[in-house]
Structure 1
Amino acid sequence: MFQTLVEFQRTIYLALGEQIKLLAAGGNWLAFVAFLPMGVVFGAAHALTPGHSKAVLATYLAGSDAKVSRGLLVSITLSFTHVTIAVLIAALSLPLVSIALGSVGRAPLLEHISRGLLGLIGVWMLWRALSHSHHHRHEGEAVGVMAGLIPCPLTLFAMTFAISRGVPAAGVLFAITMMVGVAVTLSCVAVLSILFRERLVQFFARQPR
C-alpha cells in the first residue's frame, strides 16, 4: 500500500515537472490550470503516507470534547500551516531548501525538526491530561498550528522546481491545490476520530453500573 502511494505520487510529480517545463518555455497557462486538479489528488494521497501529524490530530480529538465542526477547523488549520510554511521557506530562503533536502523524496533536516516538534506536542498533551487543565477556546487551532509547523517536503520540491524555472506562481498554485487534498484526508481522520470517541462514550454509558 505504502509503495503504491509512493509510486502514484512520483507519477504525478513527474507530470508536474513536465507541465512546469512547458510553462517556462512559453506554454499555455490554461493547460497548466487544467492540470491543477491533480494537485488535490496528489495532496490527498501524500497525506495518507506516514507523518502529517495524523496521530497528533487523532489523539487530540479523541481525548477532547470537540465536535465535528471543531475537528474540521483543526484539520484545515493544520493543512494550511503545513503547506504554507513550505511555500514560505521555498520563496524566502532557497539556500535553506538546498540544505534541508536530501535525496529525492526525503528531507533529513526537516525530519529531525519534525520529531522534535512532535515530541514537544506530545509532552504538552501529556501535561494537560495529567493536570486536568481546562480546554481553552482556541486550543484546537493552536494544536493545528503547532502540528502544521512541520513543512511539507513535496511542496518544497514543487516550489523549488517552479522557482528554478522562473515560474514561481505555478508552484504556488499547485501548492494551494495540494493543501486542499491534504485537508480532505486530515478532515477524514478528524471526523473518524470524533465519531470513534462518541461511539466509545455511548458504549460505556450503556454498561450497567
Structure 2
Amino acid sequence: MRRTALIALIVVAVLAVVLVASGAPGWLAGRAIVWQREAQDALAGALRALRAGQPGAVTGFLALCFAHGFLHAVGPGHGKAVMAAYGAASGASLRWLALIAALSSLSQAAVAVLAVYAGVWLLGGARDRVEGLAAVIEPASFAVIGLLGLMLVWRGLRRLRAPVHDHHHHHDAQCGHSHGPDPQAVLAAQSWREAVVLIVGIALRPCTSALFLLILTWRLDLDAMGIIGAFVMGLGTMMVTLFAAVSSALMRRGIVLALPQGRGMGQALSVLELAIGAAVALLAGLALLRML
C-alpha cells in the first residue's frame, strides 16, 4: 500500500509540475507570442507619447509594461518551470513561495538594467551587442538552477538516510521509536540558501523584452521611465511564476492529504523531493551543455 501511494505521489506530482511548467496550451502560447509582438509595437507608440508629453502617457506605458511582462512569462521560459518544480518538491509555505517569486522577478529586471547600461558604457549601446552580453551570462543561470536541483537531491537523500526518533512518554516511562523522515519537517522545508540559489538562477536570464525596452528608452533619453517600466514588467512576470509555484504546491498538499500520515508519507515526500531535484539538475545540465 505504501509503495502504491509513493508511486502515485511521484507520478501525479511530476505530471502536475510538467503541466504547470509548460505554461499555457500550445495554441494559447502561440497567441501569447503574437500578443507580445503587438504589445511591443504598442510600447513603441507609448514611448512616443511619453516623449511628446501627452496626457495619460505614463499610465498607459506602465500598463503596457505590466501586460508585456505577463504575456512574456506565459510563453516559453524557464522561470515558471523552476518555480513550479520548487513548489512541488520543497513543501515551502505559500508565503515563502510568494516572496521568492517577487524577489526573483524583480532581480531579473535588475539584471536587465545592469546588462543594458553595462552595454551602454562598454559597448556603445548597440542592441545586438547588449543581447550578446546578456547571452554570455545565460549559461550561468542554468548552472545555478542545476545546483538547486542537486541541493534538493541532497536534502531528499539526507532525510531518507537519517532516522528521526519520535519519543512518546507514558506513565510507565516507556518510549516508542518511529524511524523515518518527519512529515511535518518535510512539509515545512524552506531554506534561505535554496531561495538565494533559485533567485539568482532566474535573475541571470534577463527578459529580452526588458532589454529591448531599456535600449529604446536610453536612445530616447527616457532612462528613468525605462528602468521603472522594466521593474513593472517584472511584476507582470511575477504573477505567472507565482501562479506556477502555488499551483504545484497546492497539488502537493492535496496529494499529502490523500496519503496516510506517518513514516510512509515522510518517505514519499523525501523521494518526491529527490526525484524532482534530479529532474531539475538533469534538464539544467543538458541546457547548459547545449549552450557551451
- The Cα of 1:126 is off from its aligned counterpart by 2.6
Match of 1:141 in 2: 195
Equivalent position to 1:174, from 229, 240, 258 = 229
Alignment of 1:127-206 (within 5 A): 127-132=154-159, 137-149=191-203, 150-205=205-260
Distance in 1 separating the partners of 2:198 and 2:106: 9
Q: Give 1:115 shift.
A: 3.4
Contact 1:90-1:156 at 8 Å conserved across structures? yes
Matched, 1:47 2:73: yes
Q: In terms of Rg, which structure is larger?
A: 2
Partner of 2:167: none
Q: CA deviation at 1:159?
A: 0.5
Aligned residue for 1:77?
103
Please, which of 94, 114, 136 is the counterpart of residue 88 of structure 1?
Answer: 114
Q: Secondary structure at the match of 2:259?
A: helix
Q: 2:84 aligns with which of 58, 70, 80?
A: 58
Which piece of structure 1 moves more, 157-166 or 38-47?
38-47
Q: CA deviation at 1:108?
A: 4.9
* TM-score normalised by L of structure 1: 0.82
- Check conservation: 1:159, 1:168, Cα contact below 8 A: yes
Q: Distance in 2 between matches of 1:29 and 1:153?
A: 28
- In structure 1, distance between residues paired with 2:237 and 2:146: 22
Higher RCO, 1 vs 2 (CA within 8 Å, ≥6 residues apart): 1
SS of equivalent residue, structure 2 residue 260: helix
Unaligned runs of 5+ in 2: 1-27, 163-184, 265-292
Say yes or no: does 1:98 pair with 2:164.
no
**Distance in 1 between residues matched to 2:218 and 2:105, nearest whole Å:** 22
**Cα distance between partner residues in 2 of 1:153 and 1:19:** 18
What amino acid maps onto 1:67 in structure 2?
S
Contact 1:20 1:170 in 2 (8 A): no
Aligned residues: 203
Equivalent residue number for residue 274 of structure 2: none
User: Cα offset for 1:39?
Assistant: 1.8
TM-score by length of 2: 0.61
Q: Which moved more, 1:128-137 or 1:67-76?
A: 128-137
State the one-letter code of the partner of 1:161. L
**What stretches of structure 1 of length at least 5 have no aligned partner?**
none
Q: Is the 8 A contact 1:62 1:197 kept in 2?
A: yes
Deviation per CA, 1:109-130: give whole Å up to 9, x if none: 4554443343333333333333
- Quote the Cα distance in structure 1 between the aligned partners of 2:190 and 2:60: 43
Residue number among 121, 136, 140 corresponding to 2:148 in the alignment: 121
Output the CA distance in 2 between the equivalents of 1:119 and 1:162. Answer: 34
Residue-by-residue CA offset, 1:9-53 (whole Å, 9 max, x unaligned) = 1111111112223433x3337413233112222111111122242
Q: Is the 8 A contact 1:36 1:177 kept in 2?
A: yes
Root-mean-square deviation (CA, aligned residues, Å) is 2.8
Alignment of 1:4 onto 2:31: yes
